[in-house]
Amino acid sequence: MSTSTSSAPLVHAVNVIKHFGSHQVLQGIDFDVSRGEVICLLGPSGSGKTTLLRLVNQLEKLTGGRIWFDGELLGFTERDGKLYTRNDRDIARQRAKIGMVFQRFNLFPHKTALENVIEAPRQVKGLSKKTAITEAMALLDRVGLADRANYYPSQLSGGQQQRVAIARALAMRPELMLFDEPTSALDPELVGEVLAVMRDLASAGMTMIVVTHEMAFANEVADRVVFMDAGVVVEQGPPAEVLLHPQHERTKSFLRRVR
């Protein structure tokens, strides 16, 4: 059970800074995501979008700033005004509430679609095989792949593999889904089927942060678009404002290039 109130942001990031060696990739990002909100993160390659997602999912460590998720500080616990690094088990507990879908589908190649989907609920949540299979079949049905449950990734198209990857992330019943350019490795004719699944998920009320170059999707599905460049948030707002009436020259020139 979450102890936070439902009106508090699900993600609350303050002055997030990230260096890789001497390269400062994030320059102090303030970023909130409300429950049920769909955010599309836009910006040129190298602007730090993936790094921000990976920090939220604790695949990277912060150089500076803080991120709260579901009312809890990520990476640290606060006791008597002091910060202590969380142990691995605690970090795993936090990460289990966040699903992530990558550009490359990252399925286990030697496992079927169904086996990929039941893996984490069995290993991390300790679900019985029977319960895990029942839930996984419902998820594969939701992404339109119930009839491919026993196929291996190599027997599936890129779009089908990505839909299995989405089902696999959903199997942990996440409170937040992160998508890192989920369609950019796909042949153009397979992009639509993945976006359709993401659109359904958004309509069902899932909180989502989506890094994408699919402007039509962002325009239609996002509650808010956040435009980043060179490690800062340049502007953000409803898609109708940012995409149609961008205020900043950097946003304007990016949109001219991707359209």
* DSSP state letter for 176: E
Other Cβ atoms less than 10 A from the Cβ of 230: the count is: 15
Among 35, 38, 47, 183, binds ligand ADP (CB under 6 A): 47
| 45 contacts ligand ADP (rule: CB under 6 A) | yes
57 near ligand ADP (CB under 6 A):
no
- The residue count for binding ligand ADP (CB under 6 A) is 11
Query: Judged by CB, which is closer to ligand ADP: 9, or 48?
Result: 48
Least Cβ distance, residue 199 to ligand ADP (angstroms): 22
Select from 2, 19, 30, 46 the one that contacts ligand ADP (CB under 6 A).
46
CB nearer ligand ADP, residue 46 or residue 205: 46
Inter-residue contact 84 to 77 (CB < 8 Å): yes
Cβ proximity to ligand ADP: between 63 and 94 the closer is 63
Rounded CA separation 95/78 (Å) = 18
3-state secondary structure of 208: strand
The token pair that represents 134 in the structure block: 């029942």
Contact call for residue 51 and ligand ADP (CB under 6 A) = yes
Q: Which is nearer to ligand ADP, 111 or 213 (CB)?
A: 213
Q: Interface with ligand ADP includes 48 (CB under 6 A)? A: yes
Q: Which of 12, 35, 49, 122 binds ligand ADP (CB under 6 A)?
A: 49
Beta pairing class for 72-73 and 76-79:
unpaired
- Cβ burial, residue 178 (10 Å; 0-12/13-18/19+): buried
Among the residue ranges 31-39, 48-56, 217-225, 235-243, the one whose residues contact ligand ADP (CB under 6 A):
48-56
Any idea of the CA torsion for 86, 91, 92, 97, to the nearest 10 degrees? 140
Taking the alpha carbons at both ends of the chain, their separation in whole angstroms is 43
Point out which residues bind ligand ADP (CB under 6 A): 20, 23, 25, 43, 45-51
